[in-house]
Structure 1
Amino acid sequence: MRAKLFVVEDNDDQWMLIQQAMKQALAEVVVERVATCEQALENIKDWQYQDWDAPKLILLDLYLPASEQGWKVLQMIKQLPSPLSRIPVVMFSSSVDKNDIIKAYELGVASYLIKPTTHAEWTVYFNRLRSFWWETVALPDMRFTL
């Protein structure tokens, strides 16, 4: 089964750039995108009953369109039973506000990334993401419980 990446991104223009870059950098990865906090929460709840469908990594936009929704999704993920709560969450945002960055780490993100703005920058971004999350780190099997 191919690894799955779950993307929570509300902006269709950003999603178009993300999709194009992912096709180049993560062609073998199954990508599932939702655009709203509500859709994300629905999927997250489903993973509790279908953990085989859980992603290897979550990319979470902070502003969906307001930060309250991004924080809500993050907190819901971290409240899931183990091993689902251990799925790495990479929060990505256009916000460079240090308070957003600090809060993201306090709430348990694996990393906080500033969104690129061009297709070329997105491609570099996803090549680096691939190198780190798919080729460098060892992640637990989500079906394995300690």
Structure 2
Amino acid sequence: MNFSKSKTSPKRNQNARILIIEDNSDHMVLIKSAVQKCFTDIEVVMASDEQTAIHYLDECIQTGLRPPQFILLDLYLPERENGWQILKSIKNLNPEIGQIPIVVFSNSACHEDITESYDRGATSYVVKPTDFTEWVDYFQTLKDYWWETVTLPNHQSIY
């Protein structure tokens, strides 16, 4: 499928940000590099644990900072229960933050992990890529879908 870049309004990407919750420092480096290669005008906010992620989202609520367009959440932080707890905490922050799409990404292709993630409110579940080229392809696909295809809530007018 070919996505037309001309469909995107310039204002749509203004002040865009992604919150990435990942505890593996090697994956963080790969993710940052791949994101920079695929996205030009977005801010990547990295959090390595639940406290940092929730603090950032609380700050968005308290200060009127535009929240992220979507959240990438590593399921195993370091255990899957940690990832599910973050998912629950984000969904319970407030209705506007709870609307943010959360893409769970993990090395696990286990059926139970996938099903449980959706049952707990994940928007999508993706198995992590294995090398840099796949990471770039992964983020290009995310960009095509989340920036070029779907219409997300406009949180800018909420705060």
Normalised by the size of structure 1, how large is the TM-score? 0.93
- CA shift for structure 1 position 61: 0.4
Could you say what the CA RMSD is over the residues aligned between the two structures, in angstroms? Answer: 1.3
Unaligned runs of 5+ in 1: none
Q: Aligned ranges for residues 71-86 of structure 1 at < 5 Å?
A: 71-86=84-99
Alignment of structure 1 residues 1-146 onto 2, 5 Å: 1-144=14-157
Q: Tell me the SS of whatever aligns to 1:33.
A: strand
> Aligned partners of 1:14 and 1:91: how far apart in 2?
14
Tell me which amino acid in the other structure corresponds to 1:136: T
CA distance in 2, matches of 1:47, 1:123: 28
CA distance in 2, matches of 1:32, 1:125: 18
Structure that is richer in helix per residue: 2
Residue 144 of structure 1: CA displacement?
Answer: 4.6
AA aligned opposite 2:152: L
TM-score by length of 2: 0.86
Q: Which amino acid aligns with 1:36?
A: D
Bigger drift between 124-133 and 62-71 goes to 62-71
State the 1:50 CA deviation: 2.7
* Higher Cα radius of gyration: 2
Partner of 2:9: none
> Shift in Å at residue 46 of structure 1?
2.3
Single out whichever of 133-142 and 47-56 deviates more from structure 2: 47-56
How many aligned residue pairs are there? Answer: 145
Gaps of 5+ in 2: 1-13
Q: Would you identify which runs of 4 or more consecutive aligned residues in structure 1 move more than 2 Å?
A: 44-48, 50-53
Taking the aligned partners of 1:12 and 1:91, their CA distance within structure 2 comes to: 17
Partner Cα distance (1:93, 1:101) in 2: 9
